[in-house]
A and B are shown apart, each in its own frame.
Chain A
Amino acid sequence: MSKPTIIVVGNGMVGYKFCEKLLARSTQFQIIVFGEEPRHAYDRVHLSEYFNGKTADDLSLSTLSWYSDNGIALHLDDPIQEINRTEKTIHSLKGITLKYDYLVLATGSSAFVPDIPGIEKEGVFVYRTIEDLELIKACAVNAKSGAVMGGGLLGLEAAKALIDLGISETHVIEFAPRLMPRQIDSAGSNMLQMKLSQLGLHIHLNKSTAAITGDKKIHSLKFNDDSQLAVDMLVISAGIRPRDELAKLAGLHVGTRGGIVVNEKMQTSDECIYAIGECALYEGMIYGLVAPGYEMADIVAAHLTEADKSFYGYDMSTKLKLIGVDVASFGDAFITEPDCRTILFEDTHKGIYKRINITNDGKNLLGGILIGDADAYNMLLQTVNNKIVLPPDPEDLILGSRGGEANAGAGVMSLPDDALICSCEAVTKGAICSAVNEGGVTGIDGMKKCTKAGTGCGGCVPLVKDLIAGTMKANGQYIKNVICEHFDYSRQELFDLVKINGLKNYDLVLDHYGKGDGCEVCKPVVASILSSLWNDVIVKQEAIQDSNDRFLANIQKGGTYSVVPRIPGGEITPDKLIVIGQVAKRYGLYTKITGGQRIDMFGAHLSDLPLIWEELIDAGFESGHAYGKALRTVKSCVGSTWCRFGLHDSVTFAIEVEDRYKGIRAPHKIKGGVSGCVRECAEAQSKDFGIIATEKGWNLYVCGNGGSKPQHAQLLATDIDKETVVKYLDRFLMFYIKTADQLTRTATWLNKLDGGMSYLKNVIVNDSLGLGEQLEEEMQALVNTYHCEWKEAINNPSMRKRFAHFINAPDEKDPHAQFEPMREQVRAKEW
């Protein structure tokens, strides 16, 4: 018997998911997919990321070969024109006629375009597909101002896209009296509006557009109240319309306001035809989110394979980041007294609004809204869905526990096994825990592979991580952060052992505390520990250094190196600038100003490095340690010596601090900043330590970083003098160096530190461990033994000999290191 044929109409997210779900349940079907767009299914939820550099390929849900690998025939760019229900056939635009046993309509929705005069003008777009985005992108190049019609969820996404495209003046026009009227209440909306206005978005509420004016191209919007707004482009995001035209033509039952009517098995009025996703109308409702669409896909797959599963509506709770502002709404967000009791928290200073609705007896959570800070969303949603009994002080849920020890992990573990953690992929807490217990999963990547949890919208990832950690802990499977297979110790433990036993080289450490012959993980860790303890010249043990530390420069594409001399505080004389220019010219180097106020020279051949440094050292430069896990730079603003606002001399202080800590090895790189007033031009609060001048002295901030997960530094001490700043910095840096795991920046270290900032403050400021003096002495010992590594290297013939590409032909350069011209300089050839 031949396999029954299933034809899927639509290759969007839900259509794709249906194929995946059906394949997981059975391979007894012949699947044929028709898509209207030229691309195979891609992630529409994260569409706006297309504007910050993600490519269409990055957004794809699978590779193109996935379809053929799984025996699926895929017809792209070929919309279905007609369904013949008596013959059970479909006809496509390109003229394909095929017979089906079952038909799945996953036609999705289109943007609703209101009937306004002038809507057809150039410069008016919708925001739905990658093709739409490409048109918007092309138009944005010449546009200075733009507007989005619609202040709902998608409208604000579109506004973000315009900002990302560099439109300097972006407007949002909303017909209703508030933003996101479907998801949040009016107080929340006010807070959101305030935050978005601060970010430069112009918001117009209660505005109804009467006409779009302009000759051929849009020139301005005319409103019902006779006001006008001149814009270069307009994006319409006024809602969605289910794509039900094909169903209508086939005589299927559709809703009066659109949508293909389905039952709880997702069957339409023809039992051989299903409809799923945004085109389906279930009990009068269109579900315009991806998670319910996936659920519908699974229900059809279940029904076709005779498993029992039905659709009973879907939780429309949602959390997203709009232009950097957290917005979440969950459960019954709008219920009001007397049907419930409401707890509100509002902080207009930080732009935070939180509302939770609880039952009148105070036992259960019904729903709520979070603006500005939605960290608690996952846990709150679980509390609603699983009817978890509330603590005696339910305000703790949104304010955090004040006083007493907070315990984030316990909450997650108290969830029932059937609690739905990942709603996109329908993964329960039980499934996640058993992946840890039986599947041996120990991290989020493994969990994604094993259960698919966290692969949809990604919103549940923090919760999944907590569950993995919590389950492992509960098993007594407390995973100590051991360094690698050769050392059964954490970095902190090994640090103490090396110190107590006075071990000075890697082989001794490995013989005493390790096994095997070491590797690329433990060698640099031990090298860093040895350096932080004894501060010997690192190239004396060259073979245990990471490549950058081994050659005292940063390896770049093509195998050449970049050179960064230290420029403390970013202050440099004209003579030194000239030397850098001359050196770069002589050795053919590409030069660029770095983010840390210094100059990087790229493209140096290994054998040229000692020659380059000879010249730099002669001119008074020192190594900048850009290659090491060490202090990089202390950035400064110009301060009170020139700036009319400056309170104190930030440059001098930055130079003093940079000179004090230069060369010291740490678990990861360290950056600092000093600002001469509260305007904070040195961006000190984004650094591992930041010093900001006040009327009375200096404020000291610690544990900030930029990078992929930016985090602001937190205030450690207020209005202290310079000597106290240095004292606290000595203690702070040494404490970090001694206790952090390898490759952990100060921000991550603080996040993992039990007791967090209040504990750190106690150790550093109140000296609660009585370690203060010892930490200061240890730091002073490192400061006293500072040496310029490059000076040591060029003056030692046996060290210097290592800087050659070919050891048997030291004068020859690597012919594979090749360059291409670029803007009057050179760049490395692409790999």
Chain B
Amino acid sequence: MEATIATQWIMACYVDDVPENGGSCIKHGDEQIAIFNFTRRNEWYATQNLCPHKQQMAISRGMIGSAGESCEPKVACPFHKKTFSLLTGECLGEEELVIKTYPVKIADGKVFVGVD
């Protein structure tokens, strides 16, 4: 079935605004979105910036990496090191926490994020 809500692509920032293998935060209205430049895998990811564990705006300042044999890409919140899958947004620890993820496109040195 086709998605009924069309994704709207917003220009978030430039490629070199986000550190290699790290993240930055952008503002979209009242929304804060964390964008990750996973240079090592030549991939980009975006999630909500709010860590649901203690409601801190900090995910973009976390370290990224991979988990397990499947090399699931992940990010660790700098506050208490809760880690979340960059693909699904699910917490990889025991907690039942989920963060929102966004699609990302790169064109002409610009980073675009798909929002609802």
Q: Which residues of A contact B (CB under 8 A)?
A: 485-486, 507, 516-520, 522-524, 542-544, 546-548, 550-551, 555, 557-559, 802, 805-809, 812, 814, 816-817, 831
Contact = CB atoms under 8 A, between A and B. Distances in A.
Contact of A516 (B13, B24, B26, B71): B71
A558 B55 CA distance: 9
Given A543-B20, A807-B18, A807-B25, A519 B56 contact: no
B99 interface: no
B65 A807 contact: no
B82 to A, nearest CB: 10
B65 A802 contact: no
Contacts of A812: 27
Nearest to A542: B19
A817 B65 CA distance: 27
B61 A555 contact: yes
A543 B22 contact: yes
Interface in B71-100: 71, 73-74, 76, 78-79, 81, 83
A517 B63 contact: no
Given A543-B21, A559-B57, A807-B18, A519 B76 contact: yes
B33 to A, nearest CB: 10
Contacts of A519: 63, 65-67, 74, 76, 83
A543 B25 CA distance: 14
Residue picked from A520, A559, A809, A816, most chain B C-beta under 10 Å: A520
Interface of B: 12-13, 17-22, 24-27, 32, 35, 38, 40-41, 50, 54-58, 61-68, 71, 73-74, 76, 78-79, 81, 83
Contact of B26 (A544, A547, A807): A807
21 contacts: A486-B65, A486-B66, A507-B21, A517-B66, A519-B67, A520-B76, A524-B63, A543-B22, A544-B63, A546-B63, A547-B63, A555-B78, A557-B56, A559-B56, A802-B24, A805-B25, A806-B26, A808-B12, A814-B32, A816-B56, A831-B55
Contacts of B58: 547, 555, 559
Residue picked from A516, A524, A802, most chain B C-beta under 10 Å: A516
A806 B63 contact: no
Nearest to B66: A517
Contacts of A522: 65
A807 B81 CA distance: 23
Nearest to B58: A559
B72 to A, nearest CB: 10
Contacts of A809: 26-27
Given A517-B66, A518-B66, A831 B56 contact: yes
Across the A-B interface, give the 4 residue pairs with the lowest CB-CB distance, nearest first.
A543-B22, A547-B78, A519-B65, A520-B76
Contacts of B83: 519-520
A551 B23 CA distance: 13
Contacts of A485: 67-68
A802 B17 CA distance: 8
B24 A520 contact: no
B18 to A, nearest CB: 7
A807 B17 contact: yes
Nearest to A802: B19
Main secondary structure of the interface of A (DSSP, over half): loop
B95 to A, nearest CB: 15
A817 B25 CA distance: 14
B66 to A, nearest CB: 4
A812 B26 CA distance: 11
A802 B25 CA distance: 10
B63 A507 contact: no
Given A519-B76, A520-B81, A809-B27, A542 B22 contact: yes
Contacts of A817: 57
Given A519-B76, A542-B19, 10 more contacts: A507-B21, A517-B66, A519-B83, A547-B63, A551-B61, A555-B78, A557-B56, A559-B58, A807-B35, A808-B12
A520 B53 CA distance: 17
Contacts of A544: 21, 63
Contacts of B63: 519-520, 523-524, 543-544, 546-547
A520 B25 contact: no
Contacts of A802: 19, 24
Contacts of A805: 25, 57
B61 A517 contact: no
A557 B54 CA distance: 9
Nearest to B23: A543
B18 A816 contact: no
A558 B62 CA distance: 15
A522 B18 CA distance: 21
Contacts of A543: 19-22, 63-64
Given A543-B20, A806-B25, A807-B26, A517 B41 contact: yes
Nearest to A555: B78
A547 B21 CA distance: 14
A517 B76 contact: no
Contacts of A542: 19, 22
Nearest to B79: A555
Contacts of B12: 808
B43 to A, nearest CB: 10
Contacts of B21: 507, 543-544
B51 to A, nearest CB: 10
A522 B63 CA distance: 10
A720 to B, nearest CB: 42
A806 B28 CA distance: 10
Contacts of A518: 40, 65-66
Contact of B27 (A517, A547, A551, A808): A808
Contact of B54 (A523, A808, A831): A831
B65 A523 contact: yes
B17 A808 contact: yes
A550 B32 CA distance: 20
B116 to A, nearest CB: 19
Contacts of B66: 486, 516-519
A520 B65 contact: yes
A831 B52 CA distance: 11
A548 B50 CA distance: 18
B13 to A, nearest CB: 5
Contacts of B76: 519-520
Nearest to A511: B40
B27 A806 contact: yes
A558 B74 CA distance: 23
A356 B88 CA distance: 62
Residue picked from A557, A558, A559, most chain B C-beta under 10 Å: A559
Contact of A517 (B17, B35, B40, B50): B40
Nearest to B38: A517
Contacts of A558: 56
A809 B24 CA distance: 11
A190 B37 CA distance: 68
Contacts of A486: 65-66
Contacts of A524: 63
A517 B71 contact: yes
Residue picked from A507, A558, A805, most chain B C-beta under 10 Å: A805
A547 B61 contact: yes
A543 B76 CA distance: 12
